[in-house]
Amino acid sequence: MGPDEQSGQGSGTGGGGEQGGGPRREQARATAERMISQLQVMIDQATKTAGPVLRDVAAKAAELAAVAAENAGPVAHKAANVTEHVGDRLAARSKDLAADLRKAAEVARTRAGQSDDESKPDDAPKA
């Protein structure tokens, strides 16, 4: 017997004698239908049990999110306090820098004005 004859797919002569199928083909069809039926039962059972399991998983995820939110609150407050303190120090330094830059600019203008006065000729009329 060759491989085609073992699977029930012979050349039409010998084997089953009937051209459209035979007892082996009917047996294979019945076996396949039983397997499909069993698979359908398994799918239905998984569907029934998956709902509650998914709800349990979702509830656990919600609990974890709540714990994370509770723990994140104090950390966020600490970060805000540190940011406020650093911001105040930076603002004070910026004000000091601005005042220093203004003083330096005023000194430079005063020196420029004095050097202009010194560069004028002596015989210029005095006001």
- pTM for this entry: 0.35
Contact call for residues 22 and 8 (beta carbons, < 8 A): yes
User: For residue 4, what are the contacts with CB-CB under 8 A and spacing of at least 6?
Assistant: 10, 11
* pLDDT attached to residue 126: 55
Over residues 46-105, the pLDDT tens digits come to: 888 888 888 899 999 999 999 998 888 888 888 999 999 999 999 999 999 999 999 999
How far apart (Å, rounded) are the C-alpha atoms in residues 90 and 84? 10
Handedness of CA 48, 51, 54, 59 (dihedral sign): negative
Over residues 22-39, the pLDDT tens digits come to: 889 999 999 999 999 999
* pLDDT attached to residue 104: 92
Structural domain spans, the chain:
21-118
The residue among 32, 8, 35 whose CA lies nearest residue 22 is 8
How far apart (Å, rounded) are the C-alpha atoms in residues 8 and 6? 5
How far apart (Å, rounded) are the C-alpha atoms in residues 21 and 114? 119
